[in-house]
Each structure stands twice: as structure tokens, then as C-alpha cells.
Amino acid sequence: MHAGWLYGTFLLFLLGTLGWKLFDRFHVPAPDMLGALLVVSVLSILGYDLPFPSNPITLVSKLILGCYLGLMVDRTTLRQLKKVVIPAGIVSSWMLILSLVSGYILYRVSHLSIETAFLGSTAGGIAEMAILGFAFHADTVTITVLQLFRVLLFLVAMPIVARWKVGKASEKGGTAHKEGPLDTIPLHPDPETDRAGNHCRGNPICFSTVLLLLATLSGGFLGKYLGIPAGDMLGAMFGVGIANTLYGSLPPVPPLLRSYARIAIGIAMAQQLTPETLERLSTLILPIALLGALMVASGLLLSRFIQRLTGWDTGTCLLVSSPAGITQMSIIAEEVGADPLVVSVLHTARLLSILTILPFVFKLILLP
């Protein structure tokens, strides 16, 4: 029996890795999770069900991803946030309200359950919303499809609009980009040169690594014990965020470990795929189009408001108003002449506020 679990798990992770590399080659967002989801889903549809210990593996994966999110919070992040606290608060509040409004609209115009509609419409991360979907017993595959559509929509639409707006500003004699309100220092220092890295040199057991593990485990299991939705991930995020702020720069989560945690989430989601799920997805074309139009209009309106409030350049305001990935939006900011640091800080605030507040709101709305 144990040999069967080990064989099935190894084969599923191998297939997930192949899916990750394939999706990464075509620059698909979240390629590790989505690649694993697609490849293992195809296997499942063909009738090959391999044994997979979903509960323990997804628990470890959620702790790893919570740890990764917690490391976004440190003294530098908080210091930068203080300088843009008003626009960051507006963007975060706007995205929270947009998530609730768009979720309710999607629920009313589709046949989705209210849990799936709300989580699929939330302006959070693809993997994080899938994890919340597990907590609320929602359709995680549909949530992921909706989240992927949102990310792709803004990754395609907003750079085009930003380049067009920046070009128009340049033609009128304005400046495409002016000095932003934040210091030009990295939000998360290079692990080779940060303080935690110096502590680790020559030590067989690094204190900062032990602290990171303790903060992850204690926060994660406390969140799970308290019954918080996705409490293991959110508790780890809070625990690591507090430790990282008080102590300094903790060692980073290895990128490969984070990718395999997301592959595990993709595999667990594929285990839930049913023919009924595929049938429901085919009926979502019009609701998805409506959701996309609402989110784009909301982003344009928010960017106009932020620009009038702050006087920042058009490209920066458009990108901070686009609910897509932090890394992708920061890279696009550099390409279109916007301020990547402002974009990164405000998207970090948006993601953390959604993960902090919405699970409790959804618990009140969705759970009896």
C-alpha cells in the first residue's frame, strides 16, 4: 500500500514537472500550478487515477506558500508603505469591494455556487484563491480558470493601454515618468548579502532558518486550530511576517521548493476534476466576458482617481490598478516607463489585504 502511494505520488510530481516546464516555455502565468493541473487532469479524464496523499501534501504546500507570502512583509516593505499609505489603502479597499461586487454579479448571472463565484472573482493570487477554495469546499478548477482569465486579461490589456497613454503624454510634451515617492531600493534584499545570510555563514544550523521554520509551523498550526479558512497558509503568513519584521531578513524560500508546493496544489485540484466541472466551464463564456468588462472598467476608473489624487504618471496609475501578479506588473512597469517600485509595493498591499480580510468576510457570508 505504501509502495503504491509512493509510486503514484512520484509519478504525479514527475508529470506535474513536465507540465510546469511546458507552460513555462510559453510564458503562462503560474506555470508550475497550471501545468500540473492540466497534465494530471488529462490523465484523470483518460481514466488513470493514481494514488495521491492529498491532505498531508497540500498541508505542507500551504505552509510553504504561507511562508513565502509572509516574507513579503519586512521593515523595508512597511517603511515604503508608510510613504504611500493613502493610495495603498484606496487600492486595497477598492479591490476588496470589487471582489465582493463582481462575485455577487457572477453568482447571479451563472450557475456557479456562491462559494465558487466569490472566490473566482476575487482579485487575489491564483494559487492562494485555489487554497481558499479547498477551505470553502468550492470548485477549485473553475476558480482557477476564472483567476487565470483575470490575470491574462490584465497582462494583455493593461500594458497596451499603458504604452498608448504614455505615448500620448510624451507627444503632448509631458513626461512619461517622473520621480516616484519611494526610495529606489529593493523591497526584498538579495539573500546573498542580507543580514540573515551573514548569520548563516559557517553555521551548520542557522538560527534564522530555525526561526523561519518555527514561525511557519507555529503560525500555520495556530491558524488551523483557530478554524480560520485556509488557516494553515494564512497563519504561516502572519507568523513569518511578524518574525521577519521583528528580527530582520529571514532566509528566502528556495524557488524550487515554492514551485513544487504549487505543483502539489495543482495535482490536488486535478483530483477534484469531474465531467460535470467541464460541462459547467463550457457555459461560462458570457459570464466571464461580463466579469472581464467589469474589472477592466473598474481598473481604468481607479487609475484615473489615483492619478488625480497623487499626480503620478499614467502608466504607474494604470498598473497599480490592474489586479494581476506582483512580479508580472513590476516587470511591465519597467517596460512601459512606469515606476516598478510603486507598482510592487501597492500590489503587495493589495494581495496581503485581500488574504487578510476576505477569508473572514467569506466565512461570514458563505459558511452557515
pLDDT of residue 190: 42
Domains of the chain from N-terminus onward: 2-366 (1.20.1530)
DSSP 8-class letter at 311: -
- Model pLDDT, residue 170: 65
Q: Which amino acid is at 289?
A: A
Residue 124 carries which DSSP code?
A: S
Predicted confidence at residue 230, as pLDDT, reads 86
| Cell numbers found for residue 52 | 495521491
pLDDT grade for 195, boundaries at 50, 70 and 90: very low
Which of these, 118, 29, 19, lies nearest to 327 by C-alpha position? 29
What pLDDT, in 10s, does the model give residues 2-34?
Answer: 666 788 899 999 999 999 999 999 888 789 999
pLDDT at residue 146 tops 80: yes
pLDDT digits (tens, 9 = 90+) for 283-326: 888 888 888 899 999 999 999 999 999 999 888 999 999 988 78
Predicted TM-score of the model (pTM)? 0.83
pLDDT of residue 197: 44
Amino acid at 307: Q
Whether 69 contacts 355, CB under 8 Å: yes
Kindly indicate the confidence band of residue 171, based on its pLDDT and cuts at 50, 70 and 90: low
pLDDT of residue 249: 76
**Cα separation, 356 vs 237, whole angstroms:** 9
